[in-house]
Amino acid sequence: MTQKIKIAAALGLSLVLAGCGGGRLATPTGGGGGSQASFATGPISNACNRSDRKASNRQLCGCIQAVANTQLSSSDQSLAASFFPNPQKAQDTRQSDNPRNEAFWKRYKVFASSAERSCSAFR
């Protein structure tokens, strides 16, 4: 599996396990200029935190959730979260000829790219 597919699968898995709904949003405190990332609790952060991925941590998972809250519906988050315990499901969804899965995967790719950009400092 390529690194981008692994990241996409990791992001998706965290979505389903965390359940539906937005959750609390917080902004980290601290000095230093630059942009601040937001952190949220919810389906993605819960799934991400439960995953066995080496790179996962509370800050990264909360950041990914914050991005998901702005870009994915609760049903999209649920589908993506289901990828964490079953990475093959991500591959099957990506390769599906089902129009609903194709539309989801387009949204998911945009989300994954945004999360990667927004949350890269926490890896």
Q: How many angstroms separate the CA atoms of 70 and 54, rounded?
A: 26
pLDDT above 70 for 59: yes
- The DSSP output letter for 122 is G
Q: How many angstroms separate the CA atoms of 26 and 39, rounded?
A: 5
Q: What is the reported pLDDT for 26?
A: 42
Q: What's the mean per-residue pLDDT of the chain? A: 76
Give 23-37 pLDDT, tens digit per residue: 334 444 333 334 455
Q: What is the reported pLDDT for 50?
A: 87
Q: Which residue in 74, 65, 33 sits closest to 46, CA to CA?
A: 65
Residue bearing the bigger pLDDT, 45 or 4: 45
Q: Mean pLDDT throughout 74-91?
A: 89
Residue bearing the bigger pLDDT, 29 or 102: 102
